[in-house]
Amino acid sequence: MSLQLKIHELTMEYDAHPILDGVNFSIQGGEMIALLGPNGAGKSTLMRCISKALEPSSGTVLFNDREIRSLSSGEIARQLAVVPQDTGVDFDFTVEEVVQMGRFPYQKGWRNAENSDDSLVHSAMETTGILKLRHRSAATLSGGERQRMVFARALCQEPELLLLDEPTANLDIGYQWELLHIALKLNREKGVTIIAAIHDLNLATLFFSQFILLSAGKVLSIGSSEEVLTETNISKSYGVPATIFRHPLHGRLQVSIGKENISPRQQSERYPQKRIHVVGGGSEALPILEALLAAGYSVSVGPVSREDSGYHFARFYDLPVMENPPFSPINEEMYQKHLQLMHEAECVILPPISFGEGNLRNLEAMTEVVGQGVMGIVLESQNSARDFTGGKAATYLQQLQEGGALFFNKEEHAIKHLKMLK
C-alpha 98: how far from its chain's center? 33
* Domain limits, CATH 3.40.50.720, in the chain: 264-421
Which residue, 54, 2, 141, 86, is CA-closest to 23? 54
Q: Where are the CATH 3.40.50.300 domain residues in the chain? A: 3-257
Contact 78, 106 (CB under 8 A): yes
* pLDDT of amino acid 230: 94
Whether a cis peptide bond, with omega within 30° of 0, leads into 18 is no
- Name the CATH code of domain 264-421 (choices 3.40.350.10, 2.60.40.350, 2.60.40.10, 3.40.50.720): 3.40.50.720
Q: How big is the CA angle at 145 (ends 140 and 146), to the nearest 5 degrees?
A: 75
What CATH number labels 3-257? 3.40.50.300
Tens digit of each residue's pLDDT (9 = 90 or more) over 316-353: 888 899 998 888 889 999 999 999 999 999 999 999 99
Q: How many angstroms separate the CA atoms of 339 and 392, rounded?
A: 19
Q: How far is CA 235 from CA 23, 43, 230, 244, 313, in A?
A: 20, 18, 9, 11, 17
Per-residue b or e along 300-324, where b marks 16 or more CB atoms closer than 10 Å to that residue's CB: bbbbbbeebbbbbbbebbebbbbbb
Question: How many CB atoms within 10 Å of residue 187?
Answer: 19
Rounded Cα gap, residues 24 and 21, in angstroms: 9
Q: Report the pLDDT value the prediction gives residue 113, as an integer from 0 to 100.
A: 54
pTM, entire model: 0.75
Q: Give the span between the Cα atoms of 41 and 33, in whole angstroms.
A: 17
Per-residue confidence (pLDDT) for residue 175, from 0 to 100: 84
295 and 415 Cβ atoms separated by less than 8 Å: yes
In angstroms, rounded to a whole number, what is the distance separating the alpha carbons of residues 84 and 151?
Answer: 9
Alpha-carbon torsion angle 121, 126, 129, 133, nearest 10: 60
Residue 86's pLDDT is 78
Instruction: Report how far apart, in Å, the C-alpha atoms of 144 and of each of 152, 196, 244, 351, 375 are.
Output: 12, 17, 31, 42, 54
Residue 373 falls in which region: left (phi positive, over 0), alpha (psi -120 to 50) or beta: left
Reported as a single tens digit per residue, the pLDDT across 348-381 is 999 999 899 889 999 999 999 999 999 999 998 7
For residues 234 and 242, the answer to whether their CB atoms sit within 8 Å is yes
Residue 60: its pLDDT value, please? 95
**Mean pLDDT taken over the chain:** 89
pLDDT lower than 70: segments of the chain? 1, 108-116, 258-274, 382-384, 422
Instruction: Give the model's pLDDT for residue 114.
Output: 61
3-state secondary structure the chain: CCCEEEEEEEEEEECCEEEEEEEEEEEECCCEEEEECCCCCCHHHHHHHHCCCCCCCEEEEEECCEEHHHCCHHHHHHHEEEECCCCCCCCCCEHHHHHHHHHHHHCCCCCCCCHHHHHHHHHHHHHCCCHHHCCCEHHHCCHHHHHHHHHHHHHHCCCCEEEEECCCCCCCHHHHHHHHHHHHHHHHHHCCEEEEECCCHHHHHHHCCEEEEEECCEEEEEECHHHHCCHHHHHHHHCCCEEEEECCCCCCEEEEECCCCCCHHHHHHHCCCCEEEEEECCHHHHHHHHHHHHCCCEEEEEEECCCCHHHHHHHHCCCCEEECCCCCCCCHHHHHHHHHHHHCCCEEEECCCCECCCCHHHHHHHHHHHHCCCEEEEECCCCCCCECCCCHHHHHHHHHHHCCCEEECCHHHHHHHHHHCC
Measured CA to CA in angstroms, residue 54 lies from 39, 63, 293 at distances of 19, 15, 48
Give Cβ neighbours of residue 119 (< 8 Å, ≥ 6 apart): none
The span from the CA of 321 to the CA of 336, in Å, is 15
Positive or negative, the Cα torsion across 321, 325, 328, 333? Answer: negative
